[in-house]
Chain A
């Protein structure tokens, strides 16, 4: 009997402790964090976010707040992580970074996120480029995400490879070579053929990223503004696909693996000479060069030009899920991280391009040369590239269409197992199977 009683006692203690924990959590959420009321905030980001120093700075300025950060390697894995936890109803961090590509899905369950208006979003609204702030607002006017960066696209190119092919290699001449303000994809592919003829090497790493750039540049992408699918029968899109297919068929694609590039080796061994670069991609390239042991001598540079004109690919948001136990503190952290001052620091660490006007101005004024990219003033160039960018409507399955529908079709082109028509019809079949009749 004694045995039994002891067990009941411990069980009761356990239950009591759990009850205490439960009530303890709910009561502390209202109080602001302080040294006496420590709060731990979890943050999940992905790719190259450049927040590490900022977390430390925030902890220092806000005693009692401890930031526990997780960074996921790439956006698509962050998507899976976020979706899984949303579906499970628990496990999301207090602050979650959301990528533009899957924002459409998130918007369908925007009620699972805290309306940042309750935490002063209206006061800082004017910080952002207006379309970025709009993207983070749902149909009911609830603000569920503060913009971090945007993805205006410039052209990364390898000066050394250009030189070896007898092409101009300094930034201004390259911009002019591609057509400056009137740069077109036709010129891009024509130059690629010249380069291929001169060196026998590929022009771009793989077709997927070029395709993303082309689609993001269109006024309406995979969805119309009204949210209707916009792929089948879209002759403009098909024409672009055919142009890309022709380039790839001519050997302009190095058929590299996206996000892998042989652990960055492809960036140092001259596999390809150009690369489509949204702001955040500069950080990705830096990371790839580091992992492959390449430095400034690898020859990468950044030109103020982009085929087909202004384009925006990607960019992220910070949001606070409803499951957060400290929504007020989390919203405060998200607002602080996305404030102009911090965006400037983020940009310096991650090479991405800020979404707030003041931060953009500061980047232009500083014109800091970027050592990795042959001292190109990447901030100034990206600011120029951001001119004329219009936000494209992203539908609920945008990222699925990009990765699971067009991904396989483009890979067929890269591997040389299909021509343009076959690949396009494969994309349509996949679209039918995976999205329309899902």
Chain B
């Protein structure tokens, strides 16, 4: 008791004034509110991204019937079964095949379109908007129109071929033609979109580079390959990654290409997502469907990592930046000398 009563008074100058409530609130505000501002995204992501991901994994460990619900815990049995399932591998083959058939021509054409749009055209906005037009149309409408055109017996394309005396192409019964048909739909929708993104990147390339190159006698082609392409590499990488993710998840187009089946009568164009759909809603095996979803997720992550590794090399190849270890060594040296 006495000690507290006889506490020596501290010199006034040394006393840090106790922060008022308002001040403390201010400090808290500075420290905490940034987290608060970014919280909505993370809360939403946890709700609609992370939770479904985890829950899907939980479902994949059970015998889970679509209508009857949760059954026995089976561990990783669904995974071993799906990995031995010929239809799963078939769907993976189809997905990759359609992806390659769509991504490669799409990028080439988008690049060409962007280069054309990058020139000094009259009515620029008109041309730029036109290439985006297919993107605005809903994929369902696109799929229905193309499906009609690619009809085997009554389709426009086979009719035209017939007029030239050519044999009709079995667009739905043969694997490669069906993949080409579906890739066409994808390309029609996404080429313009990608062209615009690439165009934006091209616009950021300094014009004086082109001028000096032109003065040095570089032709249009040379300028494109030596200036434009290297300058837009990071954007190219972005386009490649997004189209990879999109391409591996393709569903609408193959689903509507033959509305009566889940990807063709003999699964000629059944993509992995379509197989997932068949598993869940026709075969009603929710557990295996979740397994497929997870495997697809892993595959996309794998593709993403490969993409990242390749793209990092491409993006940095030109800049001739020192490698990480030499950079670190130099930093360390600087620190010690200081």
Residues of A within 8 A of B (CB): 73-74, 76-77, 80, 83-84, 86-87, 105, 108-109, 112, 255-260, 262-263, 265-266, 271, 400, 403-404, 407-408, 411-412, 415, 433-434, 438
Contact = CB atoms under 8 A, between A and B. Distances in A.
A122 to B, nearest CB: 27
B67 A408 contact: no
A271 B278 CA distance: 32
A84 B281 contact: yes
A80 B67 contact: no
A404 B278 contact: yes
B303 interface: no
Contact of B153 (A87, A109, A259, A262): A262
B204 interface: no
A230 B148 CA distance: 38
Interface of A, helix, strand, loop or mixed by DSSP = helix
B265 A411 contact: yes
Contacts, number: 75
B130 interface: no
Contacts of A74: 260
B288 to A, nearest CB: 8
Contacts of B282: 80, 400, 403-404
Contacts of B259: 73, 77, 259-260
B154 A87 contact: no
A412 B153 contact: no
Band of interface residues on B: 20 to 34
Interface in B166-194: 170, 172-173
B226 interface: no
Contact of A83 (B260, B262, B284): B284
Contact of B286 (A87, A258, A408): A87
A433 B265 contact: no
Given A109-B68, A400-B283, A411-B265, A433 B153 contact: no
Interface in B219-276: 258-262, 265-267
A103 to B, nearest CB: 13
A11 to B, nearest CB: 15
Nearest to B81: A437
Given A262-B151, A263-B154, A87 B261 contact: no
Interface in B4-47: none
6 closest Cβ contacts across the A-B interface? A262-B154, A411-B265, A109-B67, A87-B66, A80-B281, A408-B265
B9 to A, nearest CB: 37
A256 B258 CA distance: 12
A88 B190 CA distance: 32
Contact of A256 (B85, B148, B153): B153
Contacts of B135: none
A257 B281 contact: no
Contacts of A411: 173, 265-266
Contacts of B285: 438
A109 B67 CA distance: 7
Interface in B28-81: 66-68
A147 to B, nearest CB: 22
A281 to B, nearest CB: 16
Nearest to B64: A87
A105 B153 contact: no
Contacts of A263: 148, 154
Contact of B261 (A73, A271, A407): A407
A112 B265 CA distance: 33
